[in-house]
Amino acid sequence: MATQLPILVVGGDGLVGRALVAYLRRRGRTIVATSRRAGVGDLRLDLADPASWPDLPPASAAVFVAAVARLGDCERDPALAERINSIAPAKLAARLAGCGTFCLQLSTDKVFDGTI
């Protein structure tokens, strides 16, 4: 039987990410959890700084759960919120999909102003 590739959890140290990582590991899956903070998670990945992105390991799937989630933070810096919640995940997903990785992004309403 072939070895399964790991699942990449982008934002694996956040509220949703920690729960997802724990759930998948209890079911025997190998997980690579990222964090923007150095020394946290398995791999440092800061969505705000694409130039710093490391080479990523091959993965069967990537789940994007990183986000600027506090409304006040989004209102203070809407450009940063858009970059982290929308632009960077799309860029990273394209990179991963190009290597055959299935990508899933949890949605957030912290990008739009509610007028559309």
51-54-59-63 Cα dihedral, nearest 10 degrees:
-50
pLDDT at position 10, please?
97
pLDDT at position 94, please?
96
Query: Mean pLDDT per segment of 10 residues, for the chain of length 116 residues?
Result: 85 95 97 93 93 94 93 91 92 96 83 57
pLDDT at position 13, please?
94
pLDDT at position 79, please?
93
pLDDT at position 107, please?
78
Q: Are 4 and 30 in contact (CB under 8 A)?
A: yes
